[in-house]
Amino acid sequence: MTESRQKCVVITGAAGDIGCAAARQFAAPGTALALLDRGADLVEGIADECRSAGANVLTLGADQTRREPVEEVVAKVVAEFGAIDVLFANAGYGKFGTFLEQSDKMWRRHVDVNLNGTFAVCQVVARQMVRQGSGGAIVVNASSGATQYTNLLSAYCVTKAGLAMLVQAMAAELGPYNIRVNGVLPGVIETGMTAPMLGNGDGQRGYLLRETPMGRLGRPEDIAAAVAYLASPAASFVTGHSIAVDGGQTLVGQPQWYVTDYTRKSDAEWTAAS
């Protein structure tokens, strides 16, 4: 990166709580932010916050499950800011459902968004970084479910596990171009998506708190701080790793939202953990 050019950070899934937290983390004078989600209108609110913090912000809409829109928005970012220095591949999808009842459509949706979409974004951006010849950093948002299974989230966990391996593959092949690739593995994070399940009194919230050594659930800012570190010069010798940001949850076993009595053979009944 030349002295005259702003550091450019691209964030996908920027309208979600973790994406917004990451945008705030990077927002500062001298930083160019490209905030991507399914529609540019979805990120206008966080874009205004980042502009107030001094960042130069570009908002873009694209469906990452289709390569052509991905290539188009990356080209727009480069045309606007000159280059890309950091990518936070954050966009993802998850829906509960039993393995036996899961539809082919739902399975494919997980694969298309989490695996195929993230692959496309990372490849297009990595090719741009190689052309620039100045290196870069890519951080992928996977999940603690990438390493330990979460009940009723088979498609989610399988695709997130694929992302953890994609991180290693990219790190190995992109290292010669001075491009580092790492991942974050969030545990249970308090977001708008998890709020309905965490707001049910002591039920699932109480259970998950008791299963978390740090005694609290995660915040989007916890993930954003880890992403900022992995993308920074302080992590210049860190590549090919996916770091758990889960308050120690996976030390005592993967936190579960739903449980069943395994002694009830041929009659699995899944209930909210409590």
The CATH number that applies at residue 130 is: 3.40.50.720
pTM of the model: 0.96
For residue 196, what pLDDT is reported? Answer: 85
Position 122 in a domain:
yes
7 is catalytic: no
Per DSSP, helices labelled H in the chain are: 17-26, 44-52, 67-81, 104-110, 118-132, 154-174, 195-198, 203-210, 220-231
- Strand, coil or helix: what is 59? strand
State yes or no: is 160 an active-site residue: yes
Measured CA to CA, the distance from residue 136 to residue 163 in angstroms comes to 19
Distance CA(200)–CA(211), nearest Å, equals 17
pLDDT score recorded for residue 201: 67
Q: Has residue 128 been placed in a domain?
A: yes
In a domain, 2, yes or no: no
Q: How many CB atoms lie within 10 A of CB 168?
A: 16
| Residue segments in the chain with a per-residue pLDDT below the cut of 50 | none
Does residue 273 form part of some domain? Answer: no
Q: Is residue 259 part of a domain?
A: no
CA dihedral for 116, 176, 239, 53, sign (positive or negative): negative
User: Does residue 202 lie in a domain region?
Assistant: no
Query: Are the C-beta atoms of residues 259 and 271 closer than 8 Å to each other?
Result: yes
H or E element, residue 140: strand 136-141
Domain count, the chain: 1
Residue 266 lies in a domain: no
- Active-site residue among 143, 144, 154, 242? 143
Give the pLDDT confidence score for residue 266 in this predicted structure. 81
CA-closest candidate to residue 149, choices 255, 251, 268 = 255
Helix H or strand E segment including 3: none
Catalytic residue chosen out of the listed positions 7, 144, 154, 160? 160
What residues have CB less than 8 Å from 270, skipping those under 6 apart? 98, 151, 152, 258, 259, 260
Q: List the domain range (segments joined by +) for residue 26.
A: 7-196+219-254
